[in-house]
Structure formats: structure tokens, C-alpha cells
Amino acid sequence: MSLFDHRLSMLAACLFTFATASAFNPIVQTYYTADPAPMVYNGRLYVYTSHDEDTTVRNFFSMNDWRCYSTDDMVNWTDHGSILSYKDFEWSRGDAWAGQCIYRNGKFYYYVPVNEKKGGNAIGVAVADNPTGPFKDALGKPLLRGFGYIDPTVFIDDDNQAYLYWGNPNLWYVKLNNDMLSYDQTLGVVQEPLTKEGFYIRHKDTIKRPSSYEEGPWLYKRLDTYYLLYPAGGVPEHLAYSTAKSPTGPWTYGDTIMHVIKKGGAFTNHPGLIDFKGKTYLFYHNGALPGGGGFKRSVCVEEVTFNPDGSLPLITPTSEGVKDPLANLNPYKRTEAETMAWSQGLKTAGNATKGVHVTRIDDGDFLCVRSVDFGKGAKQFKASLSGTWADGRIEIRLNSVDGTLLGTCAVDKDGKPAVWSTISCRVEKVKGVHDLYLVFKGSGASTLAFDWWQFK
């Protein structure tokens, strides 16, 4: 790297740090994530994402696995790691694109599109006993296969009938049987008519498709209305929706709900609308992380308020994200290091089966946990670390990366990789609710990994 490049990257890092002061979109900074599919289970919101690799191959989507994150406050996200790979489908050769997971009868069913080893698009289904896996191929073969069979969305209606929609350039659906692993063969695969009334018209009509519908459908119900959200218009995609009084239509075009996001250069988008703790949230993706773009996207979220007539409003993508946390975080309970509202310079490793921890810790890296309620006061900080780092330490700060320094915890000089030990240090007494910043400082190469922290 030349001195000029180095100065440029330092400047970019400063600007990035500055930009994050009150900005919490994208919600994941440790990986590029895309195609968000939210699911609520047991008081937590899980968001399942596809994953754009850090290295793009042949200037196309380079996607091998799916990841999962969860929250109970909509601002601090716990990373559950890589929970499913195309390699878990013995018959697949790659392209782990947009999927969705749903809970039914004690199991979690994850519908995902991949390409078959023998060629062609297919939809597989993986099943697990827990929302974060381990997931296993439920059928040992595709549930569905055909040209354009991508982006499945799954929905269970109030009468317990489940539906799977998918497709680009067409839109298809099946009625799933109760086992969630087969579908109504009498009805078969239904192709939805992409009429002007249902899905509007395409303005960028270079490839002569009949309507604005592109891909990535998302089915959602509110009161007695079904909403079908989808990326629309061809690339660059905007988000639009249609409504119906039944989950199988006929659909009536609604409107645009998010314009094309120009900043960041992602030419796709992908909706995931969900209710959680009395509020409604739209998940989508952009290319806003440093180095981001069309093949390095990032999941974001905005709160949504329906119009009084039940229509969806035009939603503005923000870098701020969710303004008001739904709960405060209790620092006197062990908090996983991979639970964070924002981070810089860090990665995570592992998965829900092996355990997830924070890694790639270098000088100046930090993580932020929002809305921490210290109550009447904390006096001690402890953390579980492995590995070591010359002169390594964690600065415990309030409200910003260079905010009030509560204390500094030194890293164990004799720490070994993969051997976890607990360090502790005294902190200035702190009361009330604050954003907590853990800032990493040290010199030379670090083998440090960080598993959890807790105040006393």
C-alpha cells in the first residue's frame, strides 16, 4: 500500500467512524449480508440473511452460506454465525441466494434457492429443532426445481394452510402440506398472472417483461388483507407491493414503498416485513458498508407505520435505522461479545453449535452496545478472552468511541489461542442508561478473540 493509499484509507476510516455516531444501519458490519428474512420466535426477532463473500468471484454474486442474527430490542443484534451452507445440500453446487425460515410444530423449516450440481435452479428445505440450527437437508433432493425457481417466501395463514411463493421472472406458488416438506399435488405449481392491475407496468422495458414484478416476494398479512412485497422494475430495483383478500390473489397493485437506493450501488433490494412487540419493521438491503456494492450488500431495517387506510407508506432508507430501542440491556448478565449495535474492524467466527465469538481484533477496532442500563452503578468489568496481544487492552467508554473512559482492562500476556480465560478491572462508578463502547488498543499482531463480557 502506498503512503497515499494509506492516508486515503485512514481518512475513510475516520469518516466512517464519524458517520457511525448516530447511524446504526446496516445492522451487521462484520460481514456483507443480503436478502433479509425476519422471523419472530419466543420473544426474539431472528433475521436470516444470505451472505455476500468478501471476495467477489467473476464479478457476480459470490454466495455460499446463510447467516442468522437475533435481537430483543431491535438495536443490539446477536450473531449466530453461518447456520446453513449450499454444501449441506449434497445435490447443490452453489449460489446460496435468498431464503426464508419459518416455525411450525416444534421445527424450523428453512426454504432456500440453490443451483443443482446437474445445473438449473432449485428450492431446497432444511429443518432444525432450534432457530439457529443445526439445519439439515430434509429431503435429500430439491422440493421444487425449474428455470427461475429462486427466492422462496413462506407464509402460514390463520387457518394453518402454508404457502410458498417464489420466482424470477415469473411468480409461482404452491400450497404446502402440513409436513412442510411436500405440496398439494392436485393444485400443483400455480403461475400467478403478472397483470398490469396486479403488478403494474415496467418502465425500464428493455427485456420485455409483462409487469413491474421482478423477484424476492414476501408475503405478509394484516387484519384481513394480504400484502405481497417484491423488488420491482428491473435493475436497479425499487420495492413495491400488491394486496389481496386471499393469499392466492387476485392481486391489486399498491404502490412503490422504497425508491431505488442510489447510495452504495446495490442494484438489487429485498423486502422482509414483520410485526414485533407491537411495531412493524421493514428489512431490506443496500450497499452502504465500506467496500460495499451490488455484490457486497448489507441488511438494514426501518420502522414502518401503516397509513390509516391500510396502505403501506413510502419508506425512506436511513443510515440512522431504528431510533428507539424496545428494551434496555442488562450489563449485570453475561452478554455475548457478538451482540452489538455497531462495530468497526471486527469479524466473528463460529456458529450456534460451536459457539460464536468476536475475532480479528486490531488497534482502534471497537464495538458499541446500545441502551445499556447500569441502574445504580457498576464497579467492575470482566471479559472472557483467548489468545494474546502485546500491550493489548480494552477501553470501556460511554456514549461514543472517544467518550468518557470508565476503565481499561489489560489483556492476559500469557493468553493462548482457543483457551478462554477471564480478565477483570475496576471501572468508574456509572449509573443510568448509556451506549457502551468497548475500544480495543494494542500494538503488533493480535491473536485475541473475545467471547463475552459482564459488569458487576
282 is an interface residue for ligand FUB by CB under 6 A: no
Give the span between the Cα atoms of 298 and 58, in whole angstroms.
20
Residue 232 or 312 with smaller CB distance to ligand FUB = 232
CB of residue 113 to ligand FUB, shortest distance in Å: 6
| Alpha-carbon 275 to chain mean position | 16
216 is an interface residue for ligand FUB by CB under 6 A: yes
* Residues ≥6 apart with Cβ < 8 Å to 61: 52, 95, 97, 295
97 is an interface residue for ligand FUB by CB under 6 A: yes
Instruction: Select which of 214, 338, 412, 435 is catalytic.
Output: 214
- Residue from 27, 34, 299, 385 touching ligand FUB (CB under 6 A): that is 34
Give the span between the Cα atoms of 269 and 216, in whole angstroms.
8
Q: How many CB atoms lie within 10 A of CB 240?
A: 25
65 is an interface residue for ligand FUB by CB under 6 A: no
Active-site annotation holds for 35: yes
| Alpha-carbon 353 to chain mean position | 19
CB of residue 266 to ligand FUB, shortest distance in Å: 8
CB of residue 200 to ligand FUB, shortest distance in Å: 18
Interface with ligand FUB: number of residues (CB under 6 A): 12
Torsion sign across C-alpha atoms 271, 165, 212, 256 = negative
71 is an interface residue for ligand FUB by CB under 6 A: no
Nearest to 153 by CA among 220, 235, 245, 231: 220
Sheet (strand 272-276) strand order: 272-276, 279-286, 298-304
CB of residue 237 to ligand FUB, shortest distance in Å: 8
Answer for the pair 395, 328: CB distance below 8 angstroms, yes or no. Answer: no
CB of residue 331 to ligand FUB, shortest distance in Å: 37
* Residues ≥6 apart with Cβ < 8 Å to 6: none
92 is an interface residue for ligand FUB by CB under 6 A: no
Binding to ligand FUB, residues 343-402 (CB under 6 A): none
Binding to ligand FUB, residues 13-32 (CB under 6 A): none
Binding to ligand FUB, residues 148-187 (CB under 6 A): 150-151
Active-site annotation holds for 395: no
- Residue from 46, 48, 61, 183 touching ligand FUB (CB under 6 A): that is 61
Give the span between the Cα atoms of 423 and 440, in whole angstroms.
14
Residue matched to cell numbers 441466494:
97
**Sites of contact with ligand FUB (CB under 6 A):** 34-35, 50, 61, 97-98, 150-151, 215-216, 268, 270
**Residues with catalytic annotation?**
35, 214
